[in-house]
Structure 1
Amino acid sequence: MSNVTMQIASEHGSIPGAADFRRWAAAALGEAHAEAEMTIRVVDEAEGRALNRDYRGRDYATNVLSFPVELPAGVELPLVGDLVICAPVVTREAAEQGKAPEAHWAHLVVHGVLHLLGYDHIREDEGVVMEAREREILAGLGYPDPYA
């Protein structure tokens, strides 16, 4: 089973438990990456904004940031990378979009993990593939289509 390290650096209420985060990440990692190691850090808006600004050049807090590991050539480790999830943004988006908070958290973890595995949505054709994979994983976890 995958090894997911949790870091809760937010005072925001209603953050799911570590077991939920691990279950969602494991579902997205799948059997092919069952031994993968990653960290999920839950942050408040100040840290989320600083990271988004410093690494993406966008001066606002976003819902999830993915930092895939970049290992030197010849180094093979089970590390896939880190996710940073901004708790206040997730809560606000769920309310604005009329989604159950737990389902939105699950979606963002799955979305972020897929980025760690190399999925992207910059090009439309890539987005179609990534969204289909998200829907499949989330349905398997019992959550509704996040794009409906």
Structure 2
Amino acid sequence: MAKHAHAHQEHSGDDLIDAARITLTDAGEQWTGMRQSVFEELAQHDKPASAYDIADNLSAARGKRVAPNSVYRILDLFVRTNLANRIESANAYLVNTHPGCRHDCIFLICDDCGKATHIDDDRVTGALRVAGKDAGFTDVRPVVELRGLCDDCAA
């Protein structure tokens, strides 16, 4: 169903945590206990999660308050280092299941259940990059989100 314009390896479970740790440390950042906790919590969500959702769940698990601002800083780092993707329209985040692979995702977001999936089509995002550069923009980063109904909700 998903169009992949290039090959990449999807990770899950402990393999995903290891790939994230390696990607972050290769980027010159530290893999701290708190960063691992935020990543593991985000990885448990199959729908986009907000920093507040993550902070609340971590607070409950740790028995002490985790500040949403701390979670936002970590999530922003994860987006910069390709460990997570930000769903702009929902101000929420999804774990990147292929953290070592750099490309622009096209997100499909269900208006009913909130599920978000992605497809990779470098022809589409590449055309958007070219259009942005032709309009005089530099460092163009396509953010593409398509809204509709997933197969389950449409049935």
Whether these two folds match at TM > 0.5 is no
Largest Rg, 1 or 2: 2
Q: TM-score, normalised by structure 1?
A: 0.30
**TM-score, normalization: structure 2?**
0.29
